[in-house]
Structure 1
Amino acid sequence: MTTHPPQTAPSSLRRVVLSAFAGTSIEWYDFFLFGSAAALVFPQVFFPESEPGVGLLLSFMTYGVAFIVRPFGGIFFGFLGDVIGRKNVLIATLLLMGVGTFLIGLVPSFDVIGIWATVFLVLLRIIQGLGLGGEWGGAATLSAEHADGAGRSSSRGLLASWMQLGVPAGNLLAVGAMYVMQAVMPEDAFLAWGWRVPFLASAVLVAICFWMRAAVDESPLFDAEQREATPLRTMLRSHWRQVLITIGLRIASDVSYYVFAVFALSYIANTLELPASIGLTGVIVGCLLQFLVIPFSAHLSDRIGRRPVYIIGAVAVGVWSFIAWPLIGTGEPALAVAAIAVGIAAQGIMYGPMAAFITEMFGTRVRATGAGFGYQVAGILGGALAPFVAQLLTESFQTTFAVSIYVALTAVIAVIAAAVAKETTRKELA
């Protein structure tokens, strides 16, 4: 029997929201740092004996490994979140991601230890994937439940979107770090050791966020709820429809983001043979725009509903995919920057209400498990494959029009998923 949950004090809610933003930012900084390096550095450092195109594909495959293991992180840490608490899980995922990222900065190159360099790189990417797999479900659940505990359910979308801002913040830090290191160093020095500095610097950021998360209170709804002994089995038995909807909602968001934020970097630098700084600049501008788009779309979803806002975002991404790639193909730096930036901003329309939308679909006993599992499974079909599929389509058809169709098809899936989902804006989580 669920009892009335204790209330969350305003000061506690602020700590939760701020720590969710800071911790998620650092985890995504670690994650995206690998993506930027996969597009710009790893083909030369870890796959130097392969043809350039093959080396890039192999690099993207190591990048995608994390997406394959993220559902396992979502299941394991989601289970722990529903059994022992959301707060403890978020501390564990932060430390796991931090250790993996720091050690990547220490992996010797292929020229030093041969194939073992690639093996260590993949193993550490797996660690990153497990950590990030448990992060989203725990942070989204803790933020949404504290919002209800503070009597702010009418602003749940906006409050939960703070953790969503961690994605552009983390990507901005990652791309900015790579941009600076590449700009201030000769290319030989950058490839030899300069790219490692942002990975090693992650240790300092993780220590700061650990201190912040340790001060956060546990979810009042979790404390008041009877524990579920088998949340995964219960979730699959009673919430399978919500899991499928979550996967459908997520695919377009993942594909569009990683096509513009990762594949576009390699396409501009390797296919068009333009300065890599053009793609990096586009990603930076896009991330800055998301700081406006994400909270605005989340706030709008609190007013008019999650479903219509999400559908608007999916349509925007699908339409822009047919405009962006011809602009990038002109080779004009300003047009390429604008194409990438607008594509990332359009994805932010979907990403703003997503944390609230997904967590609201699940009951308290299985919320961390369900939200994390559905979100991360979609990552395999979306972000894990997106750069690889985009590269493969471009090489196979010798045109980026195939990439536009790919993104648009995932947008159609998202529209269908949002259309069949129940509106959850006014739902009480308790």
Structure 2
Amino acid sequence: MASSSLAASSKRSEERRVLAGTLVGTTIEWYDFFIFAQLTATLLTPLFLQPLSVSNPGLGQILAFAMIGISFLFRPLGAIVAGHLGDKYGRKRVLVATLILMGAATALIGLLPTYATIGLWAPILLVLLRIIQGFSAGGEWGGAALMAVEHAPNNKRGFFGAFPQIGVPIGMIIATGMLYLLRTSMSPEQFAAWGWRVPFLLSVVLIVVGYLIRKAVEESPIFKQLALRKASEHTPLKQLFQTNTKEVIQAALIFIANNAAGYLVIAFFIAYTTRVLEMPTAPVLLATTIGSVGWLIFTLVGGWLSDHLGRRNTFLIGYGIVFVWMIPMFLLIETRSVFLYGVSIFILTVGLGLSYGPQSAMYAEMFPAHIRYSGISIGYALGAILGGAFASTVAEILLQRTGWSGSIAIYIMVLTLISMAAVIWVGETKGRNLHVEDIDPELQAAHDAKHRSQEA
């Protein structure tokens, strides 16, 4: 009785470490990513694209948003490399490596000279560091999602899988809150001169914390089974496209609407409200931060709900909210009221959360164990390219050509219909077996006995 109680306590402790490790890591990764996205909307154009900011501000803003998208083009490469290594050598090692890589690139952006100092080399070096960020982000999500879902009890996969997902809204809240504090604690001249570098450099501290937490997490139990079967000697990427190309395409299409709408919140809305509607920057940042709390809450709710209503139904509810809310949201934003802007963001994030929380579990349930890291990472990365990579750029072009913000709403609504169709195409995945089925029972028994003795 005492031994079983001790084992249960040990399992709960490990589960908490897993959830903390996946949450902290993705939070740091996305903090790094969002700091750049939000500063692109408000400051980096004159600093790194100085001639265009003077001669053609509209084109300068489009190219600045394109810098966000450039990093997405390298996510599939990061997903391919990290997925291959994660399926072959383990989820944990790859997670630690991607975290360090992202942090190093972010800190270096904080040290970059601007166009006024080194001319054309400034945007070139910035693009190179963005490529590194995109590469590391491409490998990060898949590993974090699998560590959470593969450690989860069968009836809590959706809830556990929502923890790496809430790293996105938490990262955004921290990034936006940090920018708000800096902008309100110094003059605009000080912020433009050196204050913008602070949030990039602070990522070094966050990386150290994330590294220590992730090092304490055990390897995924599914990967341990794969090691017993010696599936790690196979070539997961080749097998993935031989047998599961359809699932990769489905995963990409499921994600495009959520990612596109999310990046409007992350980058475009801040630029649109401050530059076009001429609303004050600091209150807009604060309203975005407060509004994004809904993203955090409803991502967890979405994961939990998917364990009860199913992944498909939860996705469809979330996407239904996004679709219905698009045009009313832009009408509220057009009022130039900071309060109504915050309300509009909050309601949007209800739909974003419900269509993001179940994603880790659904993706994991779509692929067999030996190619799972590669499958979900590549599907996620392709969805990010088709969805969020150039969403802000497309939105800016639509706005400049039509002069009507409703054209952006229609663009997101079309993507939402595509993602809803993909969810229906996949069907319900809840309850599918995640484990490796052809393990030698004697090997499994020996492995379990060795693991118990190590714990004792």
Q: TM-score, normalised by structure 1?
A: 0.96
* Code of the aligned partner of 2:74: V
Displacement after TM superposition at 1:77 (Å): 0.4
Displacement after TM superposition at 1:16 (Å): 0.8
Aligned to 1:3: none
* Code of the aligned partner of 2:80: I
Aligned to 2:14: 12
**Contact 1:282-1:339 at 8 Å conserved across structures:** no
Secondary structure of the 1:339 match is: helix
Q: Could you tell me which of 362, 367, 378 is aligned with 2:367?
A: 362
Q: In structure 2, what is the Cα distance between the partners aligned to 1:415 and 1:85?
A: 33
Greater displacement, 120-129 / 329-338: 329-338
Q: In structure 1, what is the Cα distance between the partners aligned to 2:286 and 2:349?
A: 12
* Code of the aligned partner of 1:314: Y
Displacement after TM superposition at 1:310 (Å): 0.2
For the pair 1:265 / 2:270, whether they are aligned, the reply is yes
Q: In structure 2, what is the Cα distance between the partners aligned to 1:242 and 1:141?
A: 16
Aligned to 2:449: none
Any idea what the Cα deviations from partners look like across 1:178-228, whole Å, max 9, x if unmatched? 111111111111111100000000000000110111111111111111324
Any idea what the Cα deviations from partners look like across 1:339-398, whole Å, max 9, x if unmatched? 122223321110111111111101110010000000001111111110000000000000
Displacement after TM superposition at 1:410 (Å): 0.6
Greater displacement, 398-407 / 343-352: 343-352
**Contact 1:25-1:165 at 8 Å conserved across structures:** yes
**Contact 1:234-1:366 at 8 Å conserved across structures:** yes
* Code of the aligned partner of 1:179: Y
**Contact 1:257-1:343 at 8 Å conserved across structures:** no
Q: Could you tell me which of 302, 325, 342 is aligned with 2:330?
A: 325
Q: In structure 2, what is the Cα distance between the partners aligned to 1:153 and 1:283?
A: 35
Q: In structure 2, what is the Cα distance between the partners aligned to 1:193 and 1:108?
A: 11
**Contact 1:250-1:378 at 8 Å conserved across structures:** yes
Structure 1 stretches lacking a partner, 5+ long: 1-5
* Code of the aligned partner of 1:262: A
**Contact 2:34-2:266 at 8 Å conserved across structures:** no
Q: In structure 1, what is the Cα distance between the partners aligned to 2:110 and 2:236?
A: 37
Any idea what the Cα deviations from partners look like across 1:141-193, whole Å, max 9, x if unmatched? 1111111xxxx110110011011110011011111111111111111111111
Aligned to 1:191: 192
Aligned to 2:50: 48
Q: Could you tell me which of 214, 231, 234 is aligned with 1:227?
A: 231
Any idea what the Cα deviations from partners look like across 1:289-337, whole Å, max 9, x if unmatched? 1222111111111011000110111111111111111111111221122
Displacement after TM superposition at 1:282 (Å): 3.0
Q: Could you tell me which of 107, 111, 117 is aligned with 2:116?
A: 111
Q: In structure 2, what is the Cα distance between the partners aligned to 1:384 and 1:80?
A: 25
Displacement after TM superposition at 1:231 (Å): 0.8
Q: In structure 2, what is the Cα distance between the partners aligned to 1:62 and 1:34?
A: 9
Aligned to 1:174: 175
Query: Superposed, which structure 2 residues align to 1:268-283 within 5 Å?
Result: 268-283=273-288
Secondary structure of the 1:352 match is: coil
Displacement after TM superposition at 1:283 (Å): 2.1
Aligned to 1:212: 213
Aligned to 1:159: 160
Aligned to 2:126: 121
Query: Superposed, which structure 2 residues align to 1:16-35 within 5 Å?
Result: 16-35=18-37
RMSD of the TM alignment (CA)?
1.3
Q: In structure 2, what is the Cα distance between the partners aligned to 1:374 and 1:118?
A: 30
Q: Could you tell me which of 72, 83, 92 is aligned with 1:78?
A: 83
Displacement after TM superposition at 1:427 (Å): 1.2
* Code of the aligned partner of 1:338: V
Aligned to 2:350: 345
Displacement after TM superposition at 1:422 (Å): 2.9
Query: How many residues end up aligned between the 2 structures?
Result: 421
Query: Superposed, which structure 2 residues align to 1:236-251 within 5 Å?
Result: 236-251=241-256
Secondary structure of the 1:216 match is: coil
**Contact 1:282-1:341 at 8 Å conserved across structures:** no
**Contact 2:68-2:390 at 8 Å conserved across structures:** no
Q: In structure 2, what is the Cα distance between the partners aligned to 1:261 and 1:318?
A: 18
Q: In structure 2, what is the Cα distance between the partners aligned to 1:283 and 1:167?
A: 14
Q: In structure 2, what is the Cα distance between the partners aligned to 1:344 and 1:117?
A: 35
**Contact 2:292-2:345 at 8 Å conserved across structures:** no
Q: In structure 1, what is the Cα distance between the partners aligned to 2:368 and 2:191?
A: 49
State the percentage of identical aligned residues. 38
Aligned to 2:446: none
Displacement after TM superposition at 1:54 (Å): 1.6
Q: In structure 2, what is the Cα distance between the partners aligned to 1:345 and 1:104?
A: 33
For the pair 1:65 / 2:67, whether they are aligned, the reply is no
Q: In structure 1, what is the Cα distance between the partners aligned to 2:291 and 2:418?
A: 24
Bigger radius of gyration among the two: 2
Q: In structure 2, what is the Cα distance between the partners aligned to 1:102 and 1:345?
A: 32
Displacement after TM superposition at 1:277 (Å): 2.4
Secondary structure of the 2:112 match is: coil
Displacement after TM superposition at 1:276 (Å): 1.6
Greater displacement, 222-231 / 156-165: 222-231
Secondary structure of the 1:34 match is: helix
Secondary structure of the 1:427 match is: coil
**Contact 1:278-1:336 at 8 Å conserved across structures:** no
Q: In structure 2, what is the Cα distance between the partners aligned to 1:256 and 1:319?
A: 13
Q: In structure 2, what is the Cα distance between the partners aligned to 1:315 and 1:138?
A: 29
Displacement after TM superposition at 1:138 (Å): 0.6
Q: In structure 2, what is the Cα distance between the partners aligned to 1:279 and 1:244?
A: 37
Displacement after TM superposition at 1:279 (Å): 3.0
Aligned to 1:301: 306
Aligned to 1:202: 203
Q: In structure 1, what is the Cα distance between the partners aligned to 2:137 and 2:155?
A: 28
**Contact 2:295-2:346 at 8 Å conserved across structures:** no
**Contact 2:23-2:166 at 8 Å conserved across structures:** yes
**Contact 1:12-1:217 at 8 Å conserved across structures:** yes
Aligned to 1:98: 103
Structure 2 stretches lacking a partner, 5+ long: 1-6, 436-456
Q: In structure 2, what is the Cα distance between the partners aligned to 1:336 and 1:157?
A: 31
